[in-house]
Amino acid sequence: MKRLGERELRKLFVFLMALMFCHAAYAAELFGTVDALSGSAYVSDNSGKSTPVIVGQKIYEEQTINSGPDGEVHLVTEDGGIVAIRPDTVFRVDQYKAESSSADKIFMSLFKGAIRSVTGWVGKHNSSAYLIITPNATIGIRGTDHETAVIDKGDGDEPGTYDTVNEGATVLKTLQGEAEVIPGKFAFAPSGRAVAPIFLAQRPRFLALRKLKIEQRIQQRKEFFRSHMEQMREKRIKRLQEIHAGRAKQARGHQGGLRQQERMAERRKEIRGNRMEQQAGQKLGAGRMEAMRRREEKEGGMHAPRQQHREMMQRGGGNKAEEHANQNRQQERRREKKVDR
């Protein structure tokens, strides 16, 4: 198995860090918390994984809630609003952001069933940032407490989108037109006819027949959040600022870590280079010594005294080696005199 070099490891580290920050940047936004539950309901994400809804559970954008025939789910949104999901309903959070900025938005889809929505500060400060989408219509608001329903098989009611207002006003739109709905009015956009929304002469039958078990708590919760909305908004802004500051600090720390790793890598490279130079020098010196030894062996015994002298010097012979050298020189001079004679 091929081992990664330092450069490849650094590139991999940078890639993983970038991937982590991209994931953080594009992570799903927290929409709200399950405040109350009656009956059964399930929440699922884009992967299709479904889990039972429980009180206290966090709900994020791009998640879908399916309530059973007896299921009621009350959500408290991060901007202090309330979404009450009625029985036998399919509801999805499409997009959500609540940072008290121009980017704030709350886009939701209602595929079937009904929801009651009490807007928080997102709808209060920017009504155009609020939208409910149904299979054949859209609903915008002007600061409101309203209810929208999608009926596909009505028991005496025509299939389509219904909208009624408890407080404030909404705008029910289709491709053919729109209708502004105020308290006491019941607007309807039929799914089987390409017409502008119309007002009904009487309350829809399904509203009169249904039985809700935890509806009475909504008014009390609405008053509480309305009285604390600005405090909740300021608290959220402060918390978001702390989160952003922490992420910025973390990013700086990772950048510093990268620089430190690069410095360490350069230092290791320098040490390896010095070690290689040292080893090359040692090999060169050893090669030279070996060449000298072989040359002297080849030249023979005429340099034997010198070889003996060098060996004695290497063994630390000192003065004795010098005396031995002198003796050898004297012997050579004697031999030369004999030859002359």
Task: Look at residue 9 and tell me if it is in a domain.
Answer: no
- Write down the residue that tokens 């009350």 correspond to: 74
pLDDT at residue number 1: 45
Q: Which two structure tokens, joined as six digits, stand for 216?
A: 């009475």
Q: What is the mean pLDDT of residues 85-89?
A: 97
Task: Look at residue 287 and tell me if it is in a domain.
Answer: no
Task: Look at residue 52 and tell me if it is in a domain.
Answer: yes
Share of the chain above pLDDT 90, in %: 51
Task: Look at residue 259 and tell me if it is in a domain.
Answer: no
- The range of the structural domain enclosing residue 178 comes to 27-215
| Full-model pTM | 0.66
Any residues with CB less than 8 A from the CB of 233 and at least 6 apart, and which? Answer: 79, 80, 100, 121
pLDDT 10s digits, 15-34: 444 444 334 334 789 999 99
Nearest to 73 by CA among 91, 60, 61: 91
- Write down the residue that tokens 């959040």 correspond to: 225
Task: Look at residue 206 and tell me if it is in a domain.
Answer: yes
Query: What residue ranges in 2-40 does DSSP mark as E strands?
Result: 30-38
- Residue 34 sits in a domain whose CATH number is 2.60.120.1440
Structural domain count, the chain: 1
Rounded Cα distance between 181 and 153, Å, is 24
Which residue type, as a one-letter code, is found at position 98?
A
